[in-house]
Structure 1
Amino acid sequence: MDVYTWLTCRMSYLRKTVVVTWEQLRFQFDRQVSTPCGYRHFRAGFCEASRWVLAIYRGAKVNEVANGIRPRPSPPHVGRDPRRALNQDGEPGRSALFSRACA
């Protein structure tokens, strides 16, 4: 869940291809890793979790590179907030689902 949340959030504002190093990911997700063996376990665990996430978030353009991962701009996995949708007059209004639930 952490990898999914991180990736969907990151993709929402990513405008160019970047490389996120294993060291950066380690500090963000698992500060406890300090030994080379722990580092390998972190990388293997992160890659395994990423495979599960990418099976669900198929639009994410992410590649593993030698020193980390390379996310590229991708469509967001979660759509826009329907409460911010425009009504027929082109003004901000409540979504149809929200309106029906509160009617």
Structure 2
Amino acid sequence: MTYKALCSIALASLILSSAGGAYAATTPDNMTCQQFLDMTPEAHSPVILWVVSDDTINKEGDSFSKTTVDATVLPKVVELCKKNPTKKITSFKQEIAGFFKKM
């Protein structure tokens, strides 16, 4: 399986178990910032990684730990979403990728 397939399985599992039927049809590709903010915090990092997974965010081949993503990228994404709750989280793809490049 590819990395994206594994991420989608893990993310779908998190969304279904944490949000119940209300967000069952929601994926990061069509998720609004408000839906992102309403999710359990444990699901935030996988969603962020999903949003930027099509792009190469780490050309040197290093890895990012969940702790690092939670500490550096997540607060900036939450701030963007609080200011723009009706926008889709994917509309911030370039900004999120930029946050990874600054790590």
Which structure has more strand as a fraction of its residues?
1
TM-score (ref. length: structure 1) = 0.25
